[in-house]
Every structure is written in C-alpha cells, then in structure tokens.
Amino acid sequence: MKRLIILLSAVTIMSACKQTDENIITRSDIKLESDVMTPEALWAMGRIGSYAVSPDGQKVAYQVSYYSVEEDRSNTVIYLKTIDQEEAEPTLLGLGSSPTWLDDNTIAYSREGEVWRMNTRGKARKQLTQTDGQVEGFLFSPDQKRLVLVKQVPYHGVIQENPSDLPKATGRLVTDLMYRHWDHYVESIPHPFVLNLETGEEKDILEGEPFECPMEPFGGIEQLAWSPDSKKIAYTMRAKTGLEMSISTDSDIFLYDVESDESTNLCKPADYEEPRTDPTKTLATQPVNAPENLKNNVGYDQNPQFSPDGRYVAWTSMERNGYEADRMRLCIHDLEQGTKQYVTETFDSNVDAFSWASDSKTLYFLGVWHATENLYRTDLEGNVKQLTGYQADFGNLQLIDDTHLLLERHDYMHPADLYLCTVADDTIADLKQVTRENEHILSQIAAGTSEARWIKTTTGEPMHYWIIKPPHFDPTKKYPTLLFCEGGPQSPVSQFWSYRWNFMIMAAQGYVIIAPNRHGLPGFGLQWQEEISGDWTGQCMQDYLAAIDDAAANLPYVDKDRMGAVGASFGGFSVYYLAGHHEGRFKCFIAHDGAFNLEAMYTETEENWFSNWEYDDAYWNPDQTERARKTYANSPHRFVDKWDTPILCIHGEKDYRINYTQGMSAFNAARMRGIEAQLLIFPDENHWVLHPQNGILWQRTYFQWLNRWLKPTQE
C-alpha cells in the first residue's frame, strides 16, 4: 500500500481554499507536486453552473461552486465576464446563484433563499423578497412587474401531521405511497407563487392543490416560463398524488392566466379520462407513436418555453406513461390554432435542452448521437440539421443573436467551461472558449486520451465503446483495465465529466478504461435503447463481456490478467450480476448504489413506475409475464453461490431510489460466502456523494481497493 499513500499525498495544498473577510470560498490555489490527478485536485476545481447573457449580448454572468474539504462545505459565487475578451479575468461579484439580467447594468440573483439585485460591479445590492429564506427558484416577468417564486408549502396527504400535544414525537404515520422521494420524506411540496412587485401581493398559482410544481426531485425553475407579454405563465405539473403518482410519469403543461387566475391544460382535451390500470402491471405494451398517446401527451411533458412572438409554446415530451426513459421529443403547441406537432421526429434520440431563435420558427437543441452530445437545429416542419460534430458534450445553451449561441462544453479530460458558438451556413464557423475556470489546475496535470472503437455484439450489430488511456501512455506496456458499467439503465456513455465517476482520475492512476455503449443506451436509435427494458440480464450483459473480451484480445496494452468491473446504480446492478457470471475474467469488483435483490427493490423504491416498466410485473402476481419471470429469476442475489471474486460495495443510507439495504445485503452475502469484501456506507448521502470529505473518502477507498487487487506488486 505504500505506493497508494504516496499517490494520494502527492498534493501540497498551499491554501486549500482562499477565504475573504466574509469567509467566502473562492478559487483554490492548489499546487501539485506531480502531474498526477488526485482526489484533492478534483475537489479543488470550480464547478460552473447556471449562466445568463446580458441583453446587449456583450457580457455573461455565471455561477461557480467551490468546495472546502477542510471545512466540509461549499458556496456558490457569481462572476461577470465580457464574452469577446477571452484572456480577461472574470470579475467576482460575490456570493449568489442563478444570475438573471434585469438590464445591461443590473443582475438579479438568489442568496440564502431570497432574491436580490446588484449592479455589474457587485455594488448597490438590494433584497427584493422577504420570505425568511424560503425561495428555491425565481423568474421575472418580461415587464419586470411580477416575479414567480418557488417555495415549499406544507403537505400531509401521505404522511399525517403528528398531534400538537406530542411536539417531540419523531414517528411518521404513512397513509399512501410516494411518502418519500429521492432523499427526503414528503411533508412539504414546491408551489409557484406570483409576487406583484408593485403592490407586494402574492398568489399561490396552485393554492389548495396537493400537486408539485416544479416536480421533484430534480425539477427547477426551467419548468415554468412567462409569455412575452407577461400575461401568462406556462408551468409543468403532474396532477397526481399517492399511489397514482408513484406509478405514473404523466405530467402536463398548463397555461395560467395571471389576471383571471385560471389554468388550462395544453396537453389534454377537457374531456380526457385517464384509463385505469393495474398498478402492479407494466404499461410497456403501449405501441410507439400511438395516436391516443400523442394526442393526449400521457408521458413526461416538461420545461416549456414561449416563442419570442408569443404564438407557440415548446416543451420536451415523452410519449408513453410510466416510461421515464422514453425518447424525449420536442413538442410545439400553436396557441392560435390549438394544435400540436413534434419537430424532432427524424432525430432518433433525445432532446436534452433547447432554445427558440428570434424568428419564432427555428429552434436549437442539444442531443446525444453516437456517444457525443452536440448541437442541432430544427424548424416548425421538423427539418433537423446537425450543427456540430465534436468529440465532446455540450450542455445548456443560450441564444445571443441569430448567429451566436453560448454553450457549456466538457469532455473526459476537461470540466465544464463556456464557449461562444457562431453558426453560419448550417455549419459551425467558430467555437471560442470564453471561460477557463480550472486552467490553473489542468495546466499542472498530465491528461489521458480517449478514442472510439466499434465492434460486433453477439447479435451481429455494431457497438461503440470508448477507450480511455492513461497519461504518458506507453503502447509497449500492459495496463490494468476497468470495465465501466453505466447506470440509468438508459443514460448515455458520452463525453461526460463527473466529480466521482471521473475517467481522467482513473486513467491518471494508471488504468485503461473500457466504457461500452451497450444495448439500452440512447444515441443509437430508439430500438437499441429499448432493448434493455424487461431484459436487464440479457443482451446488455453480453455487450459488456463482448467489449472487455475484444479489448483483452485486440488491444495489446490491456492486461487480461488484471481486469476489474465497476459501476453505479444500474451499473452497480451490472457488477453484482457479473460477479456471478464473469467466468474468471475479473480480479475485483466495485458496485455503488446498485440493485442486488430485485424482488426486494420492487417495493423498496419510491418511484414504482420504474419497477413496473423495467421488471414488467410485480413478483407476487401468479400470472406474471415471461419477461417478469426472467427478470426475477436472474436477480443477482440468486447467483451468490457462484461469487468468487473480491468486491467493494458502496451505498448511501439516504438513497431512497435504491435502498441502502441492497448494498448491505450484497456485502453480507459476500462475507458469508468467505469472499474478500468491504462495505463503504454513508449515513448522510443519497444516490450520489455530495459532501467534500465523503467525496475524498470515496475516491481513496475506490483506488485502494483497485490497487490492492489489480496492482498487487506495487503495494
């Protein structure tokens, strides 16, 4: 273990995080003693979040989050930068998030649960709301006379309120499903309030309704939009509670009239009646492009945006109810004609973000295809054109003018930065980097490389996988190699940047990574993406093995005697399954927040629509489908008798998507079988690891385990 200790201590932090008089954590001045990426260097990086372009298109205000490992906390600050001055240092405006321009010289922002404003020098600050820190999101009307505020309201529809004479009672009496979500018990829900800035009057748009807006756990202010005339608000809502909510993804876009205080559902006709279904049965038999589904928008509909002329509302739309990974389309509602159309049908993948052009006839969007997330354009007739083709991922986009957009860009070796994109004649004429948030750290680190490889699966279909190589790569050497198993189960293995599953740091520790875009992942057509539902242990597992076998046989630098498999969520499930079916390929495993016992998970997870769609049926139904029988029969826990390889299990106790008992059960089973195993359990983490010191502990434990089994001669 001596080499590991040297690796992890090869960082000298002169000042881990600068502190101002206000105790603000700002950009780290970390100094590395070698060019090896370490967990400490990773957590020293600033993380760019939301951003906004000034009305004149000259400046960008953007937020960056910084972490102090020593203090185990973080804060977010706002920077200002002139877009066309690439080399100029940004101006720090102070603590805050969600910057929004009120005019070319005034920025609104959120701080400590209130809305503030300041000038472009970070001066003349004024608090605009007085809510005792309740604001979770805000959105100004175009005329700036009103402000939408997202705040929590008490909700006891599924967890009864305790008697007033028992103020210290900690018990919760639960009466229906969806009583907890992601990482919290549901005793309040978000509602949008309209604040009249001239009179101070405030109105809850959903007053008395038991529904969420934005939808938890991930929805934010992007799920609401003002009309250009400031008279209407489009918002996202799933009008369901309890059991019905737990089995349905049917959210809709509603149009709220500020003056009349009335809402209209843009997705469904007034006489729509929802069909009743068995809550334990899958809805996966719904045909694709079913006329009734398209007419009634019965899947996820969210994130509305008005066209600049106010005639149209666009939003992202899934077709089928209960299928959270259905193809995300771009739906356009004509408010004049009352009609809907889908304008990305020729793009056989997901629309992940979009923006209207100024002509109200063109939309730009981001989507993944063949393992990269690039920029596309469509018109109201559905003519889709790809505009970029980089080996990178773009995230978020903001239109500056008819030929310029501001995009966030990242890849396996570079965290997020902002780029100015110039569109000319259907091609990208220029892509210029605007921010260099972590250049001072990246300049000290030797980067690895990534390249694509295509092979044939056992079905004869072509499959893409990424090869990530260490820095200072020597093709004459053999390297320990990791098979990366993606989660989701339908999340793309594109050029993502992660602060936990980070390929740059894995490669820096001397590992080659093989990352397959197996069956079930988007970016290769809907048919490829859907072949995993009801078949978690079928073709996708064959794809994993095909990728690692191809690497071992055809990449001379891959050491077939030193291979491991790692993954989280569905990737963790994959690891648990492969542990009983790898036939000696791997020397160790790491599973983070993975499903181990599918029968237990069916009723443990909070979003029951997921289990219904993916497993096809409840495990107790005597007439369950063949797909369901196959799913439960192939649950990883049924093959522990074949486990023979060391395994590290990681789980968060606040993970309500995949309960922490799944990880504990896997670890306990391994030890009872006499297999070398470790369990890293986090009482205060959910499906992710968010606290800085926990993040460092995660990385150190991860590499200690890998090095122990894949670098035994270097201990």
Q: Residue 683's domain is classified under what CATH number?
A: 3.40.50.1820
Distances (CA, A) of 292 to 287, 295, 304, 325, 530: 10, 5, 22, 19, 21
The reported pLDDT for the residue numbered 501 is 98
CB 385 within 8 A of CB 371: no
Please report, rounded to a whole number, the percentage of residues in the chain having pLDDT higher than 70. Answer: 96
- In the predicted model, what is the mean pLDDT of residues 482-508? 98
The reported pLDDT for the residue numbered 16 is 37
pLDDT confidence tier of residue 456, bands split at 50, 70 and 90:
very high
- Is 396 a member of any domain? no
pLDDT confidence tier of residue 277, bands split at 50, 70 and 90:
confident
Rounded CA separation 539/279 (Å):
28
Above 60 in pLDDT, residue 208?
Answer: yes
Q: Which tokens sit at 710?
A: 């894949």
Rounded CA separation 480/469 (Å):
11
End-to-end, the C-alpha distance of the chain in Å comes to: 4
Which residue's entry shows tokens 């959270």? Answer: 324
pTM confidence score: 0.95
- Is 349 a member of any domain? no
Under DSSP, is residue 3 helix (H, G, I), strand (E, B) or coil? helix
Rounded CA separation 699/715 (Å):
17
Instruction: Tell me the helix, strand and coil percentages in the chain, rounded to 5.
Output: 20, 35, 45
pLDDT confidence tier of residue 714, bands split at 50, 70 and 90:
low
The reported pLDDT for the residue numbered 163 is 96
pLDDT confidence tier of residue 694, bands split at 50, 70 and 90:
very high
Rounded CA separation 525/452 (Å):
18
Under DSSP, is residue 673 helix (H, G, I), strand (E, B) or coil? coil
Q: Which tokens sit at 540?
A: 């996708």
Q: Each residue of 526-577: pLDDT tens digit? A: 999 999 988 999 999 999 999 999 999 999 999 999 999 999 999 999 999 9
Element (H or E) spanning 189, and its range? Answer: strand 188-196
Q: Each residue of 377-402: pLDDT tens digit? A: 999 999 999 999 999 999 999 999 98
Q: Each residue of 118-158: pLDDT tens digit? A: 999 999 999 999 999 999 999 999 999 999 999 999 999 99
Indicate which residue of 68, 569, 611, 635 is catalytic.
Answer: 569
Above 70 in pLDDT, residue 333?
Answer: yes
**For residue 536, what are the domain limits?**
446-714
- Is 419 a member of any domain? no
Closest CA to 611 of 310, 322, 411, 338: 322
Element (H or E) spanning 549, and its range? Answer: helix 539-554
Task: Give 594's contacts (C-beta < 8 A, 6+ positions apart).
Answer: 567, 568, 569, 570, 571, 572, 573, 574, 575, 576, 649, 658, 662, 663, 666
Q: Is 569 a catalytic residue?
A: yes
- In the predicted model, what is the mean pLDDT of residues 236-251? 97
The reported pLDDT for the residue numbered 2 is 34
pLDDT confidence tier of residue 86, bands split at 50, 70 and 90:
confident
The reported pLDDT for the residue numbered 353 is 98
- Is 312 a member of any domain? no
Above 90 in pLDDT, residue 281?
Answer: no
**DSSP secondary structure, 312-354, as one string:** EEEEEE-SSTT-TTS--EEEEEETTTTEEEES-TTS-S---EE
Indicate which residue of 252, 263, 655, 665 is catalytic.
Answer: 655
- Is 184 a member of any domain? no
- Is 287 a member of any domain? no
Which residue's entry shows tokens 């990208």? Answer: 428
- Is 207 a member of any domain? no
- In whole numbers, what is the pLDDT of the chain averaged over residues? 94
Residue 434 phi/psi, 5-degree rounding, is -100, -45
The reported pLDDT for the residue numbered 515 is 98
pLDDT confidence tier of residue 715, bands split at 50, 70 and 90:
very low
Total domains in the fold of the chain: 1
pLDDT confidence tier of residue 282, bands split at 50, 70 and 90:
low
Above 80 in pLDDT, residue 11?
Answer: no
- Is 515 a member of any domain? yes
Q: Is 655 a catalytic residue?
A: yes
Interhelix angle 626-633/608-615, rounded to 10 degrees, is: 100
The reported pLDDT for the residue numbered 326 is 96
CB 494 within 8 A of CB 373: yes
Q: Is 379 a catalytic residue?
A: no
Question: Length of the chain in residues, anyone?
Answer: 715
The reported pLDDT for the residue numbered 285 is 62
Which residue did the predictor score with more confidence, 22 or 616?
616
* 305 exposure class (CB count in 10 Å sphere: 0-12, 13-18, 19+): middle
